[in-house]
A and B are shown apart, each in its own frame.
Chain A
């Protein structure tokens, strides 16, 4: 059974703190993604990675950075958390296929609150 895990289900941080969200997949997938989910806005792509040490900006990268040192792990970093980064964060992974598209498998999400 495919599995994407996220380090925390709930997280509370203070404004200005550095925050790390970790995501691990056990499917040997090449691609990994970070989204944030907000009511009425759906999911928006923050960053994605198609290989180790590779990263690409998504639609809303401002205020975030990522790290992918190993194939199975993709970290999202909030350098200085702000209240407008309070949200649900979802990690996903997918394999590279000849068609160029495949199902993305999602983790359970981390609900981050910044006070």
Chain B
């Protein structure tokens, strides 16, 4: 069975600093990869996704992620964060089986301070 690991439960960072949120997955078959963001008291919103093609994926709000098949990673990056980026971020994987079940990581809380 596949799994998703987000090693950092919380990442504190100062405003305008760069940030990387790490995500590793385990699967023996092809996967599709997603990053979702959850702002306080809201549902999840898609940031970006990798289905095929270029391994560098750009998403909303200046975020990007790179799919690295050899390292089974899909790390999320932003060169300069804002206070408004404070939220919880979830990495998720879906198998290439025709179903749309997503397996989520445990989440990383990004805390941006002035």
Contact = CB atoms under 8 A, between A and B. Distances in A.
B101 A45 contact: yes
Interface residues of A, number: 28
A101 B107 contact: no
A100 B43 contact: no
A94 B101 contact: no
Contact of A100 (B36, B49, B97): B97
B90 interface: yes
Nearest to A43: B104
A61 interface: no
B102 A104 contact: yes
Contact of B32 (A42, A44, A101): A101
A48 B101 contact: yes
Given A104-B100, A105-B46, 8 more contacts: A40-B106, A43-B102, A92-B44, A96-B100, A100-B99, A104-B102, A106-B44, A108-B42
Task: Report the 9 A-B pairs with minimum CB-CB distance, sorted nearest first.
Answer: A106-B43, A100-B98, A42-B106, A43-B104, A106-B44, A42-B104, A108-B43, A101-B32, A101-B94
